[in-house]
Structure 1
Amino acid sequence: MPSYVDHVERRLLDDPQVLGDIADVVGGPFHVMYPERVARNIGTFQAAFGAAGVDGFVYFGKKANKAACVARACADSGAGIDVASAGELVAALAQGVRGEDLMITGPAKSDELLWLAARHRALIAIDALDELERLVALNLAARIVLRALPDGSTSRFGLAPGELSQAVERIDPGGPILLSGFSFHLTGYDAIARSEQAAALIDLCLRTRAQGHPADTISIGGGFGVDYLDAASWARFRDTVSDNWFHANPPKSGYYPYHFPVPGAAMLTAILAHRDLADRLRDNDIRLAVEPGRALLDRAGSSVFRVQGVKSRTVGAEPYDILTVDGTSLSLSEQWFDSEYLPDPVLWPVHPGHRTPTSVGASTCLESDLLSRRRIPLPRRARVGDLLVYPNTAGYQMDSNESPFHELPLPPKVVLSAGPDRLRWRLDAPAR
């Protein structure tokens, strides 16, 4: 299942030297980031708003990747960042994102985070009545949206309808807290559900305006799908997958929809088109905010591991190889949700050989620590010293579960840029 890749990544894979040079300098597993791709992805969302004639704003969901180069790409591209901790807020500011371009999300925010957000004029998504009371007690000017619990949702996040009414009543229209509007988050990737929930919040904004509040912003959160694979590859896997394809036990959880026919900004366009949502937003002078994470990181990074060992195994009468690489599955986070990251890794460098089914294990003493349980059809047998490049891992795979287990160093992030004559690379700025 070969993944789509960015042209910069293609140049890296085709270059006979750069990838090996980076591996030699780093001396362990590493992630490669392509911030130019992040900027292009932001631009597609901004273009979707422009084509629909809607006042819209893009916040990058920072939890999806903490690389400094991504935050800098947001600052340079006129996008904001959605943060959920004081550390994330400070890191965003350090890369040039202005305070008023930050959205503060997450449950039960600390007083420190509320204070810092108010000082920088960030937009704070209030998740609970007691959180609102703590913000009021700080006696600071603040901009907020109230996070609504969608009808029928069992989420622990957000305010139920009665709580929303209490929160609106608690805010003095002439006081220091400015009620800018409402937000919501939905699980899954349903464009129509997001459009219809946004329409319901337009009505809520209008009722709130009648009580003297600005209520001119709606945030619909993230959940914009990413298209990793072509339709035929995904259908072939989905329709024919067998337990025999995997080393040891196959994944028991569901898979991410690795083929997504209306991804990213195209999904935003579909949301805006449903039941004339764009017209309603324009007619009522309401700004629509989105908080994509994975979608802004589509094809914006790869994860690289060096092969340290090769063994042969047999299932039934079919032989396959199992590799040990110099990292852990903590750096390929899908595996830690009892699922599997399905896009095929690329074996580098390219040499002739015979197709070899291959699973990939980590350099820890845990039987379950596998980067790829699936027996991937590598184009040749891997050798010690080869590199495995997992494509399109910038969205959630790199950071969600990282740990210095066994006192192994965390894989650093390398920032790659494409000059007209050659590729250039540098280490990402250290996390703040």
Structure 2
Amino acid sequence: MRETDAITAMPMRTDRIEWEERLLADEGLLRHIADKIKGPFHVIYPDQVVENIRAFQKVFANSEVKGRIYYGKKANKSACVVAACAEAGVGIDVASVDELTTAEAGGIRGPDLMVTGPHKSDELLTRAAKAGALIAVDSLGELARLSELSRRADSNAPARIVMRVLPPNSCSRFGMTAEELDAALPRAEAMLVRLEGFSFHLGGYEAAPRAELARALVERCLDAREAGHPADTISIGGGFSVNYVGAAAWNAFSRSVNAHWFQGGRIPRGESYPYHCPAPGPEMLKNILSHSNLGNILREKHIRLAIEPGRALLDRAGSTVFRVQGRKTRVAHGLPYDILTVDGTSFSLSEQWFDSEYLPDPVLWPERAGAETPTCVGGASCLESDMLSWRRIPLPRAAEVDDLLVYPNTAGYQMDSNESRFHGLPIPPKIVLRDKKDGRQFTWAREKDPHEPEICQHCSSTHPALHPS
């Protein structure tokens, strides 16, 4: 046992897949991009999104259950992900006018949109109904308002809806109680709506509760059919887990975690994401369909199962890259360790939002020989709490200025949820990787953020209107 083991966290390394190996093995590409961007950046490989979608579609096909996949757009707003969904023939789950607009602009048809969220704005409801999107109605009040908006629009086409269910014994602010659902059905009969089924969202990442609630909603679908509605869809939402690290690494970390591993003794207080999952993504869907005979029941009753995965469709589809811009050595419990400062902030690794930490270890690039060095990673802001990695990661060597830290598997939420222009620092751009024809090298392009202001060509500022064109 080495002396520094007392202050060094257990490794949490991910297994790399083929495109990640190629990227890290390329001697010039990452450096070339870093020199061009001059700041942190996100890498997205959209072909992996398509591959992840195909894996879910295969489960539905093998089970002979009619399925509908809606990508949870909040997980990553990248246009290339929307394009991947259009290519793979799946829909998108949106919760704002902006998300609806960008989804349509990316090639998603209106009928392939699912609109969620509580008490949606009049504009969103009107746009969704006009587009033929499937709207998850969250309350009796919203049901009445949607009907009124359709009447004002003088629309002859009924709005397509599912009714969102408050799960039993839940204190969630979303969904309708059993009593409200009972009241909603006869009201819907007199309104300009087409009830296509029911939806729910559950916390956690367990298959059984999702299967059991879906099975219970089969009866509500049959009751709605008797009232003249099609009611052929049950949406079970998202929460499809991702397997970031192997069981051995996760179990060792979980068993041994202690304050000595963390800068300032700060163990994150929030509940950590379960970074190891024995049955992630498509395997979880398979388990849902097999639990409680759900798949057979759905086939027998001709009911489609809709799912709304976000993170799971982005699994292994991206990484986040920071440049090391400083290093200092400090001592904890009589032992030395390094603190790095990178050229971005922790807002781009948004697990901190949950008072937790993004646990998969970054890759120190370029890879070369050296002595293992316990290292924590801080951001470039003036905040003491701006730490990308509080824990002392066992880096394979001491990092140097201008080295790169590549955080793996960050496309699901880490790239978008918490970013801001704090201190005026630019939000890291998204770099889209495509394969060259040889299948070994990449081409890359910087994706334009539609919300970024245009840069003035005269003075490189964000106020082009001040200068003549």
TM-score normalised per structure 2: 0.91
Residue type matched to 1:202 in 2? V
Following superposition, the deviation at residue 176 of structure 1 comes to 2.9
In the alignment, residue 430 of structure 2 is paired with which amino acid?
K
Q: Structure 2 matches for 1:232-381, cutoff 5 A?
A: 232-248=248-264, 249-381=266-398
1:87 and 2:98 correspond: yes
Matched, 1:23 2:42: no
Q: Deviations over 1:169-212 (max 9, x none)?
A: 11126x53100000000000110000000001111101111111
**1:51 paired to 2:62:** yes
Counterpart residue type for residue 81 of structure 2 = V
The aligned counterpart of 2:461 is none
Residue 14 of structure 2 corresponds to: 3
Which residue of the partner structure matches residue 115 of structure 1?
A: 126
Cα contact 1:55–1:286 (8 A) shared by 2: yes
For residues 172 and 39 of structure 1, the distance between their equivalents in structure 2, rounded to whole angstroms, comes to 39
What residue number does 1:132 align with? 143
CA contact (8 A) 1:334 1:397 kept: yes
CA–CA separation in structure 2 for the residues paired with 1:347 and 1:35: 24
Q: CA deviation at 1:332?
A: 0.2
- Whole-Å Cα distance in 2 between the matches of residues 229 and 176 of structure 1? 49
Preserved CA contact (<8 Å) 1:6 1:37? no
Q: Corresponding residue for 1:100?
A: 111
2:367 & 2:58 partners in 1: Cα distance? 38
Deviations 1:22-46 (A, max 9, x none): 1111110000001100001000110
Q: Secondary structure at 1:239's aligned position in 2? A: helix
Contact kept? 1:69, 1:429, Cα under 8 Å: no
> Offset of 1:417 from its aligned partner?
1.6
Aligned to 1:195: 211
CA contact (8 A) 1:227 1:260 kept: yes
CA contact (8 A) 1:32 1:303 kept: yes
After superposition, the C-alpha distances for 1:273-311 in whole angstroms (9 at most, x for unaligned) are 012111110111111000000100100010000001001
* Map of 2:220 onto structure 1: 204
Asked if 2 retains the 8 angstrom alpha-carbon contact of 1:347 and 1:387, the reply is: yes
Q: Secondary structure at the match of 2:263?
A: coil
How many residues in Structure 1 have an aligned counterpart in Structure 2?
A: 431
Matched with 2:418 is 401
Q: Tell me the distance in 1 between the aligned counterparts of 2:300 and 2:220.
A: 15
SS at match of 1:171: helix
- Which residue of 78, 97, 110 maps to 1:67? 78
CA distance in 2, matches of 1:290, 1:120: 20
Which amino acid in 2 is paired with 1:177?
V
What is the CA RMSD across the aligned residues, in angstroms? 1.0
Confirm or deny: 8 A CA contact 1:8 1:417 kept in the other structure.
no
Shift of 1:421: 4.2
Task: Give 1:319's aligned amino acid.
Answer: P
Which amino acid in structure 1 is aligned with residue 50 of structure 2? A
- Whole-Å Cα distance in 2 between the matches of residues 5 and 78 of structure 1? 27
Say if 1:66 and 1:431, in contact at 8 Å, map to a contact too. Answer: no
Q: Deviations over 1:206-255 (max 9, x none)?
A: 11111111111000000011000011000110011111000012211121
One-letter identity of the residue aligned with 1:347: L
**Which of 156, 159, 163 matches 1:142?**
159
Give the counterpart letter for 1:30 in structure 2.
Answer: F
1:185 matched to 2:201? yes
* 2:256 alignment partner AA: T
Contact 2:22 2:440 in 1 (8 A): no
- Work out whether residues 102 and 123 of structure 1, in 8 Å CA contact, stay in contact via their aligned partners in 2: yes
Tell me by how many angstroms 1:126 deviates: 0.3
Q: Note if 1:422 corresponds to 2:422.
A: no
Q: Which residue of 408, 411, 417 corresponds with 2:428? A: 411
Return structure 1 stretches of 4+ with deviation > 6 angstroms: none
Report the CA distance between 1:168 and its aligned residue: 1.1
Q: Which runs of 5+ in 2 are unaligned?
A: 1-11, 452-469
Deviation at 1:129, TM superposition (A): 1.2
Q: SS at the partner of 2:237?
A: coil
SS in 2 for 1:47: helix
Q: Separation in 1 of the partners of 2:95 and 2:303?
A: 24
Amino acid at match of 2:342: V
**Counterpart residue identity of residue 283, structure 2:** A
Fraction of identical pairs, as percent: 59
**How far apart are the structure 2 equivalents of 1:281 and 1:53?**
10
Q: CA deviation at 1:3?
A: 1.2
Q: What is the CA-CA distance between 1:130 and the residue it aligns to? A: 1.1
Q: d(CA) in 2 for partners of 1:208 and 1:4?
A: 47
